[in-house]
Structures are given as C-alpha cells and as structure tokens.
Structure 1
Amino acid sequence: MNHRDTRKERKNICQTLSADVESERNNINQMKNDKYHNTNNTNIYISQHALNYAIEQYLSLIYIKCNPKVSDNTKAKGIIKALITHIKDDFYKLNKYYNQPLGFEYCDTHNYPTSVESIILEPLKPKHLPGQHSLVLKYVPNYITIDDIQNEIGIGKDLIFNLEEMNGSRTDKYRHIRLEIKTTNEYNSLLKKGGITIDGSLIEIKEFLSPPRILICTKCNDPGHVRKNCKLEYEACRRCGEDRSVGNHKECKLCCHRCKQEHMATDYQCHYIIDYRRCL
C-alpha cells in the first residue's frame, strides 16, 4: 500500500476521534437539513466540506495507528466508545458538574490504553494543540533559553505540551515563544498573571490568536468549496472579480465582486465573509 493510501485510510478512521464526536455529527446533520442560512438578509450556503474544514481547524485531528488495521465503520465506532469509557471515571472526578456529551482530547500518548477490543493502539502525538491551549511569550530576550523558560514558568513540566520559538519572530535582540498547556486551569492562571520575570526581564504573556481560517476557493474566491469543485468557467481576479486571463490585473479597480466595496474578495473584513463565518 502506498503512503497516500495509508494517510487517507488513517485520516478516514481517525477523524471520528475528535472531541464531542456525537455532538458535532448532530450539528452537521442539522446543517444538511437547513442548507441555506439567512444572515442579514443574505442567503449563505454552508457546504459539508466547509463544515468539516472548520471543525478540523478548531479541533486537531487525532491519529491512531491500529493493528490489525480497521476498515469497518462499526468497528471504528466501537473503538471510540471504548476509548470514551476508558476516560469516563477520571474525567467526572475532575469535572463533577459537566453535563454535555462526553468527548476527548487524547493529546498525551500516555493516556491511551494499550489495546481496545483486541486492537493494538499506537497513538501519534499531534504537532500542536488547538489555539485555545496556546499562549505567546512576547519579546523574550535571545539570551534566555527554552530551558530557562521551562524552569521559571511556574507550572509542572508534565503540563507543558510544547514550548518553541515562533517562526519568523526572531530579531537581533528578541523573539516570541509559543507555549502550549494541557490544562485549562494552568492556562487561565498564566493568562491572568499577564507575565513572568526571568533573569530580571519582564516577559509579557498574551493569548495566542489563531488566524481566522475558512475554506476559500482559489479560482472564484468565494468561501465554502475548493478549486476542483468550482463551477466558475474562468479564474477570477481577487481585486475586480473579472477573468484574470483577460487584461492587466495588477492595477485593476479594487472592488469586491460580492459586496462592491473597496477591498479584495478574500479580505476577512468583507461583510459577506464576516456573515459567512458567523453563520458557520
């Protein structure tokens, strides 16, 4: 089996292992019944593809390698139920008043059972936690190392999922550090504190703000689908909305083809995209 088929099979099986699985499925089914949603007198279509993309951006995919391989949906559902049962007692000890459908975020590979229903599980640690578990340490002097931060941050090393320099943030004197924390209590405590002192330097702590990503077609510049599913006959200019193969579009009139305002069609300040994200 080639790598592409392996990745595809792994994704198909493990996508269902996202948090609040049943709740998300119910929401999606409701969206299917109501294909169009009226927001500010504008009919906005939310596709199944757009919903799946939005969920994946908010909830990191959980990959689990199964041995033997699982290709049956019924068997996969049984594994999900068994995993939730495995964490149920410990979860309710920590969250006595939680009354929503139980899901899970198995970011720590040590939390997994070795096997479920005669299936050996090999969890793969995600590269990052979702943005709502991340903080940014701003303008950290270059002489302060990652180990220095880990020793002075004031929380246990076992609660830190990841601590790394943010790409493109380094200057001659400073850089930004991304801190990912497993528990919301420690996250909120550090965020409320607002900063830490290391070697006489006061380092500011801010919430990590993920970019507002939605599915946007690179052919027609409209949200909700990808290029290969686009029905537009030509590739539209982001500035004016006209056919890019006709004329000069480096200095064409800046006018969104949807709302007729002076911005690009993919600008997140576009009222249509704002309404689309709100509806999504």
Structure 2
Amino acid sequence: MKISNQALVYAADYHYSSFKLECEPKLNDKKQGVKMVNELMKYIKIDFLRAYPLFTKPLLVDLWWIDSEGNLQMIIKTTELYIYLCNKNRYPNELFNFKIKPNPPAHLPPQHVVILKWVRNSIADNDIREELNMTYKSIHSISTMNGTLNDRTRHVKIELLDKTEYELILNNKKISLMGQMFDVAEFLPASKILICGRCNKPGHTKRICQNSTFDICRRCGGDRSNAEAHNDCQIKCHHCGSQHISTDYKCPLMEEFRRELINELKKHPEKLPQHIQLFIPTEYRNKEDKTKYIQNTSSYQQKEQNLNLNNQSI
C-alpha cells in the first residue's frame, strides 16, 4: 500500500481546534471580522503580557473566518495565546458593538497534557479532580483516555493550563492519589489518518479522488447525494462488510493503512515537525523494536549541537 507525502504530512501535523465567538448581531462582512480580531488582540494584550512576560512574538491569530451562521471562527497555533484564550473570563462582553459569547476548544494542546497510568476503575474521574485540585490549581480537565479501559484499570488524561505545574508533574514522574503513587507520563498524540470525504478510503482527499464519482455514505456505502436518506441507514462497512462505519479505525483497511503509515514515518522521521513526537500504539510495534514513539531525531540533534555551541561561546 503506497503512502503519499500528503498522508505523511497530515499524520504528523497537529490539528488545532477553532475558537468560536458567537456574535450578536451576526457578522456578514469580512471587514467586520478584521476589526473584531484586531480589537480582541488589543483588548487582551496588557493582561496577556502580564501572564507571559517573556513572550516576544507578535500577538496574532493564524487563521480566521466568518462561518455560515455569522459567527467568528479562529485558529490559534501559538501555544501561549491558545492557553490564555481557553479561559472564557478573559474575553470582553462586546467588540465594536457586537455582543460576543466565546466558545474555546474543549481540550488543550499535547504540550499541556499528562497521562496518569493504571488508575483503578473504582476511582472516579471526579474523585481524581477533587483531590488533585488541592495541589494543582490549573487543572483544565480530567478524562479517561480512549482505548485504555479494561476490567480493572485505565489511563487518565490530565490537562493543565499552567506550564510550570505541567513540568513539575512530569519531573516528579509520580502522583500521590488516594494514598497511592501512580506513574505519570507525557501525552504523545498518535498519527492521524487522512481519509477521503468521497470514497472514505485512506491516503488522499476528496479533491483528487478517483475512486468514485459521488459521495459514498460512511454508514451503508450507498450514494449520499440525498443526505437526509442516510440519517438512519443500516451500518455496514463498504470496505470489509462488517458492522461498523467505513472510517472506523478498527476496519482492516484502516488498520493496514495505519500500520504502513507508521512504518513509513519510522523510515522518514525528518518529515515530523521539530516539536512533535508521535505515539506508536502497542499493536503497531515490532516485537524486536520496543520504541514507543517517533520523533525527528535530526532536528533534535541539530538543536543539541546549537545548544553546545552556545554554551561554548559563553
């Protein structure tokens, strides 16, 4: 199975969730959007620099648009600004006579997430939050990690707004909870699969799809031209015939593609951004190779060389 460069780039890239500002009245002009984004940056600048005094980059939004409902959507890739605006209390009530209601992303970037490992199922997420809140003041959310639940234990994701608390937990490598010590590890995102919106096969986009002339329903495999007819159609994968939607990662086609994708990323780690490490799920590791993640070792080595040169020049 051939893995395209587009699929490799997509797998390694972190996909940022958008910040939504519900506006009243609704926006209908791009000039309004420009004014609102600029005014929001002016409004938060002083308090933001107070929270991040070492921040020297321009205070900018990476991408914004007005959605079909007349609300403002923003993509922010600067981690500090992303974290800052996840707090709803940091927004004004109005911008240019438009009342706004902020809806920030539910989750923080991987650089602010730790994993609490092998937690007993008898300890509820709310119990964990209640106890950890007494020690760590910047907890954003606590949730069971998908795919880790078994009969006795599971892993728990802890998202922290404060980078100092995040690093403190990782450096300690353990967390005391309910009178016990639990292992802690950094959260490494798994590689993502690029899936076509037309044929539902992995590795390419709808724009260049040559497998179908119409949009195929993920549920039943039929022609989705009439979308309403597929709101409650029978679920049967059109790739393998099993009882799941065609884009489910447990489909044999998706599993095979993901395995080949991970193997290709192992061969070409230089395609990964410098700050990204990708987690390799257990079922995709070689028996001879126990490596748990993929990272751009060349960029890491270059960073180490630069650090050594800087130290020598001091």
Normalised TM-score (structure 1): 0.61
Report deviation, 1:215: 3.0
C-alpha separation in 2, matches of 1:117 and 1:111: 17
Structure 2 residue aligned with 1:62: 19
**Is 1:232 aligned to 2:189, yes or no?**
no
Report deviation, 1:182: 1.3
C-alpha separation in 2, matches of 1:212 and 1:119: 40
For residues 151 and 230 of structure 1, do their structure 2 counterparts lie closer, same or farther at Cα, with a shift above 3 Å needed?
A: same
Structure 2 residue aligned with 1:98: 55
CA RMSD of aligned residues (A): 3.5
For residues 242-257 of structure 1, the aligned pairs below 5 Å read none
**Is 1:148 aligned to 2:127, yes or no?**
yes
For residues 208 and 61 of structure 1, do their structure 2 counterparts lie closer, same or farther at Cα, with a shift above 3 Å needed?
A: same
Instruction: List gaps (5 residues or longer) in structure 2.
Output: 61-80, 214-238, 241-254, 274-314
CA contact under 8 A between 1:44 and 1:276: conserved in structure 2?
Answer: no
CA contact under 8 A between 2:110 and 2:187: conserved in structure 1?
Answer: yes
Structure 2 residue aligned with 1:172: 151
For residues 115 and 189 of structure 1, do their structure 2 counterparts lie closer, same or farther at Cα, with a shift above 3 Å needed?
A: same
For residues 1-280 of structure 1, the aligned pairs below 5 Å read 57-103=14-60, 104-105=81-82, 106-153=85-132, 154-156=135-137, 159-213=138-192, 215-217=194-196, 223=203, 225-226=204-205, 228-232=206-210, 264=256, 266=258, 267-271=260-264, 278=271
Report deviation, 1:117: 0.7
Deviation string 1:182-233 (CA, Å, 9 cap, x unpaired) is 122221111111111223321111111112225344759674x42x322435
Report deviation, 1:145: 2.9
CA contact under 8 A between 2:116 and 2:184: conserved in structure 1?
Answer: yes
Deviation string 1:163-188 (CA, Å, 9 cap, x unpaired) is 12223422232121111111222211
Count of residues paired in the alignment: 204
Instruction: List gaps (5 residues or longer) in structure 1.
Output: 1-42, 236-248, 251-262
CA contact under 8 A between 1:60 and 1:130: conserved in structure 2?
Answer: no
SS at match of 2:92: coil
Letter in 1 for 2:33: A
C-alpha separation in 1, matches of 2:57 and 2:30: 24
For residues 93 and 234 of structure 1, do their structure 2 counterparts lie closer, same or farther at Cα, with a shift above 3 Å needed?
A: closer
C-alpha separation in 1, matches of 2:97 and 2:157: 39
For residues 176 and 60 of structure 1, do their structure 2 counterparts lie closer, same or farther at Cα, with a shift above 3 Å needed?
A: same
Letter in 2 for 1:69: K
SS at match of 1:167: coil
Normalised TM-score (structure 2): 0.55
Deviation string 1:140-179 (CA, Å, 9 cap, x unpaired) is 11222334322432211xx221112223422232121111
Letter in 2 for 1:172: D
For residues 230 and 142 of structure 1, do their structure 2 counterparts lie closer, same or farther at Cα, with a shift above 3 Å needed?
A: same
For residues 109 and 272 of structure 1, do their structure 2 counterparts lie closer, same or farther at Cα, with a shift above 3 Å needed?
A: closer
Letter in 1 for 2:17: S
Letter in 2 for 1:232: Q
C-alpha separation in 1, matches of 2:269 and 2:212: 23
For residues 45 and 135 of structure 1, do their structure 2 counterparts lie closer, same or farther at Cα, with a shift above 3 Å needed?
A: closer
